[in-house]
Structure 1
């Protein structure tokens, strides 16, 4: 069910929520958090709502979407409430602000009266994010702040901002996309022979925040020299190669779907390692509300990575 409230205010939205609760049952019970989605009112809006709805099936929540409209229009708030089948396991409140209501402070002011009491707040910017999320007006309301450097107009610049202005509680979906890569590499090193890694190489397309982060993670976790190289294909992160005394452990993914793991004394293995959906990454990040210290170490480790110019060819 979708209820439109044009030219409205947060008081009217709250009254409508109470009315729906009394007439249709207490749909707010069992909500474990409030997810605030900050985006633009445009073609990507529904994709962001769909991703939040999918994540809500694992984490029932109230989703508040700040959809910024035209900044030069007269101040106006058009609200919309979605419940039932149109909201997954959540209740979705879409706030379309125009004019002065597109400002960060105004957005935070509209969100505050609608936050669920006594539950954590998570802020998510599915597109362009502020350079310092922890200092943003909405970011200050949240225990966790989720960005996505890959969705920015300039992913490299966005990752530099994440590194420069990191604060506990920050995370980025480019890091979350690496979870399965990190698990496969850790498992490969956890079998005999238990030898130290002496060098590492990471290869990916020229602009790939995930490639930068996995290189930083390896530099911080292993304390070895890590070389970051471009590849001959535009397929994101494509190759991780770890050198040990007995030989090389290599995890390569030339097509963005299936990876090949090779290591001394073991048969070659094919692993399903497709690029993860945004909803899957978002659901993973909502499982934890404490600071991600490993992510912070990976960000710091990027500065220790050396750069190669010669493209690496990843065999299909």
Structure 2
């Protein structure tokens, strides 16, 4: 983990774009004077704008994530934190703001790379003021990423004002109520032209990699097109992840919905064969989202299972008349900073995620199969 240093926040007495920019100038001027008097050299960097929509209770954890993200991708963060309840009868809303810098502690002889954070605290009634302030504070000529941390679906009025300049919208559908309804809402955003990144999808990356690698060997690859059953086990909060994983498998192998039984869905393969899909809900607290994934043919079984400790995944290929192959791989900790950095590898839309989402929604009518007692 890279060592980080965050400057004390500098609170503003006046909140407007001009006042915020002047405070930022003073912040960097003070840093430059420190450098000139023998301090460590600082390099101010910004490869993208990160606009964060959150609430007042989450400002501190969001700031910690922004600081960690600075070590991966230095940027300008604009945090708009809403406080209190909506109250249309409230007097003229009062805004508060402060600025601070996040710097990596570089080895001797190398400059500290720094990003900056602008935090604006506003009552919920002041929501309509937020887009104008944010737009005036964006660094030009670099991408704009909107990170929606609120537990409810993105407000379309707010998105309508920010969408023209936002290159990506990042959210976490696992945190939002509604399950399948939330996924439908995300698809509506995509259909409207919004490039969406979902933390649920990012956390599935190790699972997708291990499933794909199970079919690298020729004997396994020959059986890929003849899979007859897919079973995904998940904890209750992992229902969205399970749907997206099944959707990804179906989309990559060009399976099409055929019919739904009470025990699962049946999909049609391109060769005319059938694949039964089952999602099994498991009551356990030792797993995060997914427990296991199994793909089966008449003579083979391919599985990826989370270890009891949650520290690694175990991938196993069992093919008749062949020696079973098993490997354990470390399961990395994918915090929000890492997930956002991964999302930035894509400039706009993620066609693989969007195809998986469409397939997942086609399968959403299936109810999870109860776990055997």
Q: TM-score with structure 1 length normalisation?
A: 0.87
The aligned counterpart of 1:115 is 138
The aligned counterpart of 2:66 is 52
Listed one character per residue, the Cα deviations across residues 153-187 of structure 1 (whole Å, up to 9, x for unaligned) are 44444233213432451111111111111111111
The aligned counterpart of 1:171 is 197
Say whether the 8 Å CA contact 1:64–1:93 is kept in structure 2.
Answer: yes
Give the deviation of 1:232 after TM superposition: 3.6
The 3 A distance-change label for structure 1 pair 118 and 219 is same
The aligned counterpart of 1:271 is 329
Which of residues 197, 216, 227 in structure 1 aligns to 2:278? 227
Q: Which deviates further from its counterpart, 264-273 or 246-255?
A: 264-273
Say whether the 8 Å CA contact 2:183–2:361 is kept in structure 1.
Answer: no
The 3 A distance-change label for structure 1 pair 299 and 84 is closer
The 3 A distance-change label for structure 1 pair 253 and 131 is farther
Paired with 1:210 and 1:133, the residues of 2 have a C-alpha distance of 28
The aligned counterpart of 2:248 is 217
The aligned counterpart of 1:65 is 79
Are residues 1:290 and 2:348 paired? yes
Q: What is the aligned-residue RMSD (CA, Å)?
A: 2.7
The 3 A distance-change label for structure 1 pair 159 and 68 is same
Paired with 2:242 and 2:114, the residues of 1 have a C-alpha distance of 34
Say whether the 8 Å CA contact 2:184–2:361 is kept in structure 1.
Answer: no
Say whether the 8 Å CA contact 1:204–1:230 is kept in structure 2.
Answer: yes
Give the deviation of 1:211 after TM superposition: 1.4
The 3 A distance-change label for structure 1 pair 18 and 180 is same
Listed one character per residue, the Cα deviations across residues 9-29 of structure 1 (whole Å, up to 9, x for unaligned) are 222111222233344349785
Listed one character per residue, the Cα deviations across residues 28-67 of structure 1 (whole Å, up to 9, x for unaligned) are 853111000000111x221122112212211110000001
1:35 match: secondary structure: strand
The aligned counterpart of 2:161 is 137
The 3 A distance-change label for structure 1 pair 27 and 124 is farther
Say whether the 8 Å CA contact 2:44–2:115 is kept in structure 1.
Answer: no
Paired with 1:27 and 1:50, the residues of 2 have a C-alpha distance of 20
The aligned counterpart of 2:51 is 36
Give the deviation of 1:130 after TM superposition: 0.8
Q: Which deviates further from its counterpart, 179-188 or 135-144?
A: 135-144
The 3 A distance-change label for structure 1 pair 189 and 233 is same
Listed one character per residue, the Cα deviations across residues 193-213 of structure 1 (whole Å, up to 9, x for unaligned) are 122242322221234221111
Pairing of 1:87-126 with structure 2 (within 5 A)? 89-98=114-123, 100-101=125-126, 103=127, 105-126=128-149
Long gaps (5+) in structure 2? 1-6, 33-40, 106-112, 256-266, 268-276
Paired with 1:312 and 1:271, the residues of 2 have a C-alpha distance of 28
Paired with 2:204 and 2:123, the residues of 1 have a C-alpha distance of 37
Say whether the 8 Å CA contact 1:204–1:239 is kept in structure 2.
Answer: yes
The aligned counterpart of 1:152 is 176
Say whether the 8 Å CA contact 2:170–2:196 is kept in structure 1.
Answer: yes
The 3 A distance-change label for structure 1 pair 270 and 30 is same
Q: Which deviates further from its counterpart, 72-81 or 54-63?
A: 72-81
Are residues 1:299 and 2:330 paired? no
Listed one character per residue, the Cα deviations across residues 236-293 of structure 1 (whole Å, up to 9, x for unaligned) are 1111111235401001115333322110233322222255222221221123222100
Say whether the 8 Å CA contact 1:131–1:165 is kept in structure 2.
Answer: no
Paired with 2:326 and 2:16, the residues of 1 have a C-alpha distance of 60
